[in-house]
Chain A
Amino acid sequence: MAVSSPPVDLSAALVLEPVAALDWLVILPVAWCIGIGAVLMMVRHRTFLHPPIAVAALGVLAGFDATLLWHVAQNGPVTMVMGRWLPPFGIAFTVDLTGALFALIAAMVALAGAVAAVTDINDSGRRYGFYPFLMLLMAGVSGAFLTGDIFNLYVWFEVLLISSFGLLVLGAEREQIDGAVKYGFLNLVGTTLFLIATGYLYGIFGTLNMADIAAKAGPLRETAPLTTLVALFVFAFAMKAAAFPVNFWLPASYHTPRIVVSALFAGLLTKVGIYALIRVSVMLFPLERDDLSLVIAAVGALTMVTGALGALAQTDTRRLLGYLVISGIGSMLAGVALGGPGGIGGAVFYALHSMVVMTALYLAAGLAARLGGGFSLASLSGLYARHALFSALSLMLFFAVSGLPPFSGFWPKVMLVKAALDGGAGWLAAALLFTGFLTMIATGRLFLLAYWRPAAAAAPSGQAAVPATALLPLIVLTAVSVLIGLFPETLLGLVQQAALTLDEPSAYLHSVFPAGSAP
């Protein structure tokens, strides 16, 4: 019955040349995370095994992503099609510099979170499945950054969303359920919009492969309502990324879970939205992005200013940081609106910086709460006397998030302001600088009240020791921020190259459809 060697021409449907070993790096981050997540599920009752397995696995993941970045930087975009089917029919994973950079920083952030969780997540949190959820979240995040298929991107959004629900309700307290309902509902609305937009896109193009879409967009511009389509995508991704009018879910939920979970969310989730926005609006539909650029710019300016103003008004450190996450999203949107290598490069750079710094800031808020007895600015005080090194690290992070040199926030801000001035959008440059100023005031106020103010009578005082697993991730993330700030050349070069590849995706297209095999 079965035919061992069918007499048909397989080359029309299948990839027949053997796959180079290095190309496996395209899919390995995702498969690895899912596999380790499965192992952790199998040993879920032996919770003492979870931290060592997860930390080691995320270390290996960072290694995979670093090698992948090196591979992509050397050889240009890399593609692997699932199940051997030729694109656009097979699902393609295509990695260019943008995806590889995001994936690497995400893995580093997750590794820092996993180490910090050793002390922050207790045994009951592990029993609830913190580490399996973390690995599956990373599978979703890595998949979103590495895939080259827009419906597959949607699937990874779902994977990371479901894992994030699990992380959000870890402990199942009343407040957490409240936050999770708001977060879950609004994110489902955003995801559904994304799905609807993808349905329209498939109706127009008849393909879901990103390279195929980018190649086919030109002739369809005359007849198809592409601007509407892109507007729908922009709205869906803006909701995911917490842009101004649709960002109320973020401050409503980010302060409820365990602090490590907040840190991971702040570092990873909104940035996936920004990544998807960049991928779709810049690479697939550049002309439509031009049409919408004024809208995106206005949204970006409002997001950053309202975010910074919101941060000024808060008395809970976690809520304050939530507004700073939003404010950063505004800066990235400004970069997307400006376009060109400067704007896009600035947005990508800002996203990478924000992933590192926002995670570190949340971890710092957790440590501050442990040292100073809470998250409320009314009672939090005297941290400088409690732990000088921790205070110094926090101050560096405050400078970094405000965009002061010599920290990582400075360079993307310079790129964005320069792009805005070059593009004749002086008001956007002014908004960027004004936001930096407001952020400085907000974080300065935090430092003044929580760190410099002498300890209140009720607050604990005196020198305090901090476990190494809590301090180490903070030190490493701050060091990354300082190193990027002091030696930005390598990353600047990579980011500009990444922006050029997005702007002119012929290398990306060529990687999916080698010469002559275009559909």
Chain B
Amino acid sequence: MRSLILRTVAPLIVGLMVLFSIFVLLRGHNEPGGGFIGGLIAVAALSIYGIAFGVETVRRAIVFHPLAIAGAGLMLSTLSGLVSMVFHVPFMTGLWIYPVILGEEVPLSSVMTFDIGVYLVVVGAVTSVALSLEERGED
């Protein structure tokens, strides 16, 4: 879309939305949010970027093919479930570590890596659909 206004504000909006999507992803553990909705917000950001600058720019910006991103997310989620094999607990059991980073205790868990996997699956799969639809529209 040849719109100067959109092209000017798009990088700002897109940056904010991606940041917000990560916030929603991490917030999801105890409050509304999570990988699925966070992923959808990120897809919305990428779509706006695509509308403003074209599909090719988005493809270059995300480096990997969207479906490869989805595959990596699926892998991460599966591995998060399989980690529990090492600890002799059932599949998908939530496992936690509490490293102290810069004097602050940061709880990290396999639940979070699973959710990050979900985020990547949604980003990859839905972006793939959105980009192909936009590509058809440009023809």
Contact = CB atoms under 8 A, between A and B. Distances in A.
Interface of A: 1-2, 4, 15, 18-19, 24, 27, 31, 34-35, 37-45, 80-84, 90, 93, 129, 132
B93 A84 contact: yes
A42 B96 CA distance: 28
A42 B73 CA distance: 10
Given A34-B74, A38-B78, A41-B68, A80 B91 contact: yes
B94 to A, nearest CB: 7
B133 interface: no
A83 B92 contact: yes
**Among A24, A83, A93, which residue has the most Cβ atoms of chain B within 10 A?**
A83
A87 to B, nearest CB: 11
B81 A84 contact: no
Interface in B66-101: 67-68, 70-75, 78-79, 81-82, 85, 88-94, 96, 98
Given A19-B88, A35-B78, 10 more contacts: A4-B98, A24-B85, A31-B91, A37-B74, A38-B71, A38-B73, A38-B78, A40-B71, A44-B68, A81-B90
A15 B90 contact: yes
A363 B96 CA distance: 49
Contacts of A83: 90-94
Contacts of B79: 35
A31 B74 CA distance: 10
Contacts of B74: 34-35, 37-38, 41
B120 to A, nearest CB: 10
Interface size class on chain B is 20 to 34
B27 interface: no
A373 to B, nearest CB: 36
Nearest to B105: A2
A1 B105 contact: yes
Nearest to B76: A38
B107 interface: yes
Given A2-B98, A31-B78, A19 B90 contact: yes
Contact of B71 (A1, A15, A39): A39
Nearest to A92: B90
Contact of B67 (A1, A34, A44): A44
10 contacts: A1-B107, A2-B98, A18-B89, A31-B78, A31-B81, A34-B74, A38-B74, A42-B75, A82-B90, A82-B92
**Among A1, A18, A31, which residue has the most Cβ atoms of chain B within 10 A?**
A31
A18 B93 CA distance: 12
Contacts of B85: 24
B72 A38 contact: yes
A129 B71 CA distance: 12
A41 B98 contact: no
A24 B72 CA distance: 23
Nearest to B87: A18
Q: What are the 8 tightest A-B residue pairs by CB atom distance, in nearest-first order?
A: A41-B71, A38-B74, A18-B88, A38-B75, A42-B71, A84-B93, A38-B71, A83-B92
Nearest to A40: B71
A375 B81 CA distance: 46
Contacts of A84: 89-90, 93-94
Nearest to A16: B89
Contact of B91 (A2, A4, A82): A82
A57 to B, nearest CB: 13
A39 B68 CA distance: 9
A190 to B, nearest CB: 24
Contacts of A2: 96, 98, 105, 107
**Among B65, B91, B105, which residue has the most Cβ atoms of chain A within 10 A?**
B91
A452 to B, nearest CB: 48
Nearest to B64: A42
Contacts of B68: 41-44
Contacts of A90: 90
Contacts of B75: 35, 38-39, 42
A349 B105 CA distance: 58
B67 to A, nearest CB: 5
Contacts of A35: 74-75, 78-79, 82
A19 B89 contact: yes
A120 to B, nearest CB: 23
Contacts of A18: 88-89
A247 to B, nearest CB: 32
A81 B90 CA distance: 6
B31 to A, nearest CB: 15
B72 A42 contact: yes
Contacts of A41: 67-68, 70-71, 74
A90 B92 CA distance: 11
B34 to A, nearest CB: 16
A80 B90 contact: yes
Contacts of B107: 1-2
A511 B102 CA distance: 48
B71 A44 contact: yes
Contacts of B67: 41, 44, 129
Nearest to B82: A31
**Among A1, A35, A43, A93, which residue has the most Cβ atoms of chain B within 10 A?**
A35
A80 B90 CA distance: 7
A332 B107 CA distance: 53
Contacts of A132: 71
A42 B117 CA distance: 14
B95 to A, nearest CB: 10
A93 B90 CA distance: 11
A24 B90 CA distance: 8
Contacts of B73: 38
A153 to B, nearest CB: 17
A93 B81 CA distance: 14
A374 to B, nearest CB: 34
